Chains A and B, each alone.
Chain A
Amino acid sequence: MEIEALPEILLTAPAAKVPAPSWARLYRHQSATLHQIRALRGLPALTVVQAKAPASLVRQEVFLRVLAERAKHAPLAWKIVFLFDHGPRLKAEDFFSVLKWFPTHSVEFAQGAGNGAAAVEEAWAKILKERSEEPRRDPLGQITSVVRATADLRAESGRLSADRVAEAFGLSVAEVAKMLAASRQAVSKTPDAQALQEGLRHFERIARLRTILPGGDFRKWLNLQRPSLGEKAPLNLIKAKKAAVVADLVEDMLTGAPD
């Protein structure tokens, strides 16, 4: 994967004044006081908290509560690096007293200003790794009319069902099974199997087009050549196991993104 060059960092501290350490110049950074953090909608991907020691930090309950609250509105992958002054060796109970405020996997610790840059780099690498693994952002999936347009693709279990997808797309169950690299018998027996969900997800994203193209118009669209697809019909690409390409096109149509 490519490494993004410039992590964006928010520097803060329980103290009113936030000194920017020398290593911070390597990054796009912004300092913020508690008051300024309150005004933020959410934390950025990477926040660095500078404090003397865990014991003094946990006494700043309001500061930690505000951080924890704003962290709920951070991007899907985020970290807070707690950078403590160089001092006595920290023990497990010191870390635990801070950890209890945040999701464990989102917190990193370092001690001594000289270790700040390495801790930030490590945290940034973990964010990038998590981003590469996290599911796609799907704001369209939160829109009532869009969800309603694909509700019939789901079985009583709430999972996507291959036989319902086949009907919506005018395909046979055998054809859908082939596109999902599954056997027709297995798909017929359990059309909403967990193992099929990832493949069926592309079909659901495509079927969202029924928000603006109900019924027969949707199937008609599937069979018409599209300039954006190199004059190929969407259904032909779906059959060629390129459903994700069609799903991205549908998302662009529903969000008005230029081609």
Chain B
Amino acid sequence: MSPARRAAAFPLDSLPVKPLDAVFVRCVPQLSFDSGRPPSYFFVSGHARRLNPRGVECLYFGSDEATAGAEYDRNAAGTTAGNQPKIIFKVRAHLHGVIDLGDAYVRKRLKIHDIDLFGPWRGKRETRLQALGRAVSTQLHIAAVRFPSDAARARGQEGWNLAVFVASMTGDDRLEILGPTNKPLEVFTASPHGRKR
């Protein structure tokens, strides 16, 4: 079955979808940010990640500092990377529609299992979660997917990640990087011009 046909097989229209207005967190090495040309906080490369196949632009954030920290530390274990200065930044996500893979009913409807959420995915052919991401990226009803963090789970914690599909953001959807004042450091909107500083 082609990736497009697989994506079409998800019953997205009949899933419980909720709006979201909440703060999420990301943890990055400081060295990436303290140079002359820092990247946008909204870094999108388009390579495959747990919820998106290659070519589908997606932004990921953790539900809290503990989860973002677990994600950061996950692949640095056994080295001194964990001792390096880190930056934790917060993003307020205001999105019109989110599906929650923490909901057993949603998982059942989508036929998503623990192996999809917590199993290795790198280097594999398009996974079921990535096919779901492809389906989400081609509609406007759902802008993001909340899913459990495997890194937090490995630490015996409960933590969540949010995958925001850039192409599915519409209307007033926006992501704001919170700063020291009421003015966000950077804003990512659904408008054609996308991000603003």
Seen from chain A, the residues whose Cβ lies within 8 Å of a Cβ on chain B are 2-6, 8, 10, 28, 30, 40-44, 131, 136-140, 142-146, 211-213, 217, 220-221, 224, 226-231, 237, 242, 245, 248-249, 251-259
Contact = CB atoms under 8 A, between A and B. Distances in A.
Contacts of A227: 74-75, 120, 154
The 7 closest A-B pairs by CB, nearest first: A44-B192, A144-B35, A256-B28, A230-B120, A245-B123, A40-B193, A258-B71
Interface in B70-90: 71-72, 74-81, 84
Please classify the interface of chain B as helix (H, G, I), strand (E, B), loop, or mixed, using the class held by over half of its residues. loop
Contacts of B81: 212-213, 217, 221, 253
Interface centre among B4, B29, B71, B137 (most CB of A within 10 A): B29
A139 B40 contact: yes
Contact of A136 (B45, B79, B151): B45
Nearest to B122: A245
Contact of A259 (B31, B39, B151): B151
Contact of B71 (A139, A231, A259): A259
A142 B72 contact: no
B37 A143 contact: yes
Interface stretch (B15-23, B47-55, B101-109, B176-184): B47-55
Nearest to A245: B123
Interface of B: 2-4, 7, 26-29, 31-32, 34-40, 43-50, 55, 60-62, 67-68, 71-72, 74-81, 84, 120, 122-123, 134, 137-140, 149-151, 154, 161, 167, 170, 191-196
Contacts of B2: 2
A245 B154 CA distance: 22
Nearest to A255: B43
A249 B138 CA distance: 26
5 contacts: A138-B45, A217-B80, A228-B122, A258-B60, A258-B149
B45 A139 contact: yes
Contacts of A254: 28-29, 32
Contacts of A40: 192-193
Contacts of A6: 138, 140, 167
